Structure 1
Amino acid sequence: MFDYTVATNNSIKEAISSLELSLKEEKFGVLWMFDIKEKLQEKGLEFESDYLVLEVCNPYEAERVLKENLLVGYFLPCKIVVYSDNGKTKIGMPRPTALINLVNNEEVKKLANDIELRLINCINKSILS
């Protein structure tokens, strides 16, 4: 699977707040939060589901992977989405390991695996809060 997605009973606002706290523990920061619903409605389009994309980064990890292969920058920053789906809040991300396989570099694959496990841990901790 290319993604990791979980559901929570928390509201979107609660899920994001909890996620931000767990990300900070792993030294990831939210660089930007893109509200797709708001942007589409701003353009006159009807999109009813709440859908937010968080671009997250750990500068130390970004430096490590970029030193191994500059093409990895095409996948940065990491994305985590929080959205409403049939009354449930979902949190998910594309798996860094799925993307990094395209680069074909064993050291980068190891780094991506570590980052993926840490981000999954952050997501899992956020749904338990």
Structure 2
Amino acid sequence: MIYKITTDTPLQTVKDEMMAHAKEAGFGVLGTYEFQKILQSKGLDLNQEITGYELCSPKAAQDVMNELPEMSVFLPCRISVYEENGKTVLSTVNINDVMHTIDASQDFKEHMNSVYAKFVGIMKSWN
């Protein structure tokens, strides 16, 4: 259900370049969440830096919501970035897994798999 990759690219570099890499793939960054800072502001500790990004391809979002409004729970698309075992990790929901569980036309599923491939391309762009 979760798609996860690692890269040797430093965490800060990935964070600094996320907006540009998303734009190259046709996505915009709608929001950024520095979870460690958010929790610290609430008096709670998080033992590592985790940053969440909300990304959107407006046309793909429109297609999803017009075809299957219930899929809006997965929007906007998200990527989390953090460190694990000395590597930078990028993770997201594996939409290909989700597509196998929904009742939709094959054309729609293929279109969404194509959009997801572009999204995964963002994640792989640091390798």
**In which range does the TM-score fall when normalised by the shorter chain?**
0.7 to 0.9
**Quick one: distance in 2 between partners of 1:87 and 1:79?**
22
Query: More displaced, 17-26 or 49-58?
Result: 17-26
Match of 1:98? 97
Write out the 4+ residue segments of structure 1 that deviate beyond 6 Å after TM superposition.
none
Match of 1:123? 123
How far did 1:95 drift? Answer: 1.3
Query: More displaced, 82-91 or 92-101?
Result: 92-101
How far did 1:120 drift? Answer: 1.2
**Quick one: distance in 1 between partners of 2:3 and 2:64?**
21
Call closer, same or farther: CA 1:74–1:123 in 2, change over 3 Å: same
User: Secondary structure, in 3 states, of the residue corresponding to 2:9?
Assistant: coil
RMSD: 1.6
- Unpaired runs of 5+ residues, structure 2, are none
How far did 1:110 drift? Answer: 2.0
Supply the AA of the counterpart residue of 1:115: V
Pair 1:37 & 2:36 matched: yes
Asked if the contact 1:100–1:108 (Cα under 8 Å) also holds between the matched residues in 2, the reply is no
User: Secondary structure, in 3 states, of the residue corresponding to 1:93?
Assistant: strand
**Quick one: distance in 1 between partners of 2:41 and 2:100?**
37
How far did 1:19 drift? Answer: 3.0
- Unpaired runs of 5+ residues, structure 1, are none
Supply the AA of the counterpart residue of 2:118: R
How far did 1:39 drift? Answer: 1.2
Asked if the contact 1:72–1:100 (Cα under 8 Å) also holds between the matched residues in 2, the reply is no
**TM-score, normalised via structure 2 length:** 0.88
Alignment size in residue pairs:
126
Pair 1:17 & 2:16 matched: yes
Match of 1:63? 62
**Quick one: distance in 2 between partners of 1:41 and 1:49?**
11
Asked if the contact 1:36–1:52 (Cα under 8 Å) also holds between the matched residues in 2, the reply is yes
Asked if the contact 1:49–1:85 (Cα under 8 Å) also holds between the matched residues in 2, the reply is no
Match of 2:111? 111
Asked if the contact 1:7–1:89 (Cα under 8 Å) also holds between the matched residues in 2, the reply is yes
Query: More displaced, 9-18 or 63-72?
Result: 9-18
User: Secondary structure, in 3 states, of the residue corresponding to 1:82?
Assistant: strand
